[in-house]
Structure 1
């Protein structure tokens, strides 16, 4: 069966073009489809691991099989066949309903008129925010819903990336948090897709994901360099919704009398005076 698995994987990867996988073509290729190294990259495993799979010298765990099924764009029948060749039960990935911000959390966001706050869901998807959070970071409403993810923005949005004084620290903490999520829910297709895309797009993410460092924090301090109100050292705290533990409200505050507190007051006034404050902020960052 191991040789059949290798033949199946080779046949399927030859049918997936680099463009379909979101990769640059890279010029002339000796064989059609994806290279082994590209499949490994998209599946967030090492090239050696994948090579051993094709050669029948390694057994694949279920999360790896799920990742390969996604990368190779397998049909339901092909996915079942892949699991059977690997001696695994081809249980379908759990399809969760799209998360929506809890109404009580949205009311709380609306009441926080002088505190930037947002609600994050699974995989750090941004479910809700208040106007001051939009003025601080970006106009989240203008971000397509499927891309409205905090970790994705930290790595792919140049304006948000430039805002963090210590971007490396923040970004590595984001990767460690995603690792924790992967341990809790290894079959989550949303997480698998996010990790695969960021691994392709960003070499830092790819390197830090391979470090397998984990961590989760409920509070801390972040220093932001805002283009309108200047540098802000803000304390952030996490409140978990008892009705849905997968939703967390993140609030950013500053102690009274500090420069950051004065900066937040300026940001509140600026946002109130400028209905397009978030858009103005993005223009200032360019």
Structure 2
């Protein structure tokens, strides 16, 4: 397996901005994770590169080159040890492994017969809102309840992540918007590792980073999240209810289309 710096492509943010953002490669994530590991260990500073290298049984130069975007051959044992040394959680470990293996090949466009069967399943979730999104969170199907909750879903090219991050009404309707925006950006960060160079994911990130607030959130400490399955969301949807709505997202992956997400919104457990 080859560990490599995947994607370091400058993204223009807007015509007026003089700064650029870069897609996160493994090198930047390693630096961020090492800094966090040191804080978690009570060092008040990043875990030294020498310590990481020694625990891996490698030279400091070898590890320093990784954080500079160099390449190295990893066996599964060494990859697991690196994750342990940096105190990575499950999603971060998955991200590390994706970079080590070069990401997951992206599936081709969904065939009409694929979507017909999935749309029938989505419709059967009524009265719960349900929708299907592709790897860049563009909707490829939804049911009537989802359109009632979120009228924008019926527009051509509707994209869940773009709506959460950039739509003015989302910042009013999504409770704790800043946190939810961070988590949405964290999913984009994971998708960049899973689908290196995928044009639809890159285009989504380029678009949302035109927003100054999203740009500031993106520039903060790196966070990666594979999905939001089981996460709780608070929504303010005055066209449906005068009271806030609490819901939990169940995220499923169709066996034949691992690039799609099947999302159902339901009441919290016990409600």
What TM-score does the superposition give when structure 2 sets the normalisation length?
Answer: 0.58
Q: Superposed, which structure 2 residues align to 1:29-108 within 5 Å?
A: 37-38=18-19, 40-41=20-21, 43-44=22-23, 97-99=108-110, 102-108=115-121
Alignment partner of 1:126 is 2:139: yes
CA shift for structure 1 position 23: 2.7
Aligned to 2:195: 185
Q: Is the 8 A contact 2:13 2:206 kept in 1?
A: no
Which residue, 184, 188, 207 being the options, matches 1:197? 207
Aligned residue pairs total 184
Which residue, 222, 225, 238 being the options, matches 1:227? 238
Aligned to 1:23: 14
Look at both structures and tell me which one has the larger radius of gyration over its CA atoms. Answer: 1
In terms of fraction of residues, the more helix-rich structure is 1
Give, in whole Å, the separation in 1 of the partners of 2:167 and 2:203: 18
Aligned to 2:122: 109
Give, in whole Å, the separation in 1 of the partners of 2:258 and 2:15: 39
> What is the CA RMSD across the aligned residues, in angstroms?
3.3
Give, in whole Å, the separation in 2 of the partners of 1:242 and 1:166: 33
Q: What residue ranges of structure 2 are gaps of 5+ in the alignment? A: 1-9, 29-67, 72-104
Alignment partner of 1:248 is 2:261: yes
Question: C-alpha offsets along residues 7-48 of structure 1, whole Å, 9 cap, x if unaligned?
Answer: xxxxxx9xxxxxxx673458xxxxxxxxxx44x33x457xxx
SS of match in other structure, 2:264: strand
CA shift for structure 1 position 151: 1.0
Q: What residue ranges of structure 1 are gaps of 5+ in the alignment? A: 1-12, 14-20, 27-36, 50-58, 63-93, 259-286
Q: Is the 8 A contact 1:118 1:130 kept in 2?
A: yes
Give, in whole Å, the separation in 1 of the partners of 2:218 and 2:13: 21
Q: Is the 8 A contact 1:115 1:252 kept in 2?
A: yes
Question: C-alpha offsets along residues 146-169 of structure 1, whole Å, 9 cap, x if unaligned?
Answer: xx2211101121122211111112
CA shift in 2, pair 1:220/1:60, >3 Å: closer
CA shift for structure 1 position 235: 1.7
Q: Is the 8 A contact 1:221 1:233 kept in 2?
A: yes
CA shift in 2, pair 1:25/1:225, >3 Å: closer
Question: C-alpha offsets along residues 40-64 of structure 1, whole Å, 9 cap, x if unaligned?
Answer: 33x457xxx9xxxxxxxxx8889xx
SS of match in other structure, 1:226: coil
Q: Is the 8 A contact 1:219 1:238 kept in 2?
A: yes
Give, in whole Å, the separation in 1 of the partners of 2:180 and 2:13: 26
Question: C-alpha offsets along residues 229-272 of structure 1, whole Å, 9 cap, x if unaligned?
Answer: 131111221111011111121111126984xxxxxxxxxxxxxx
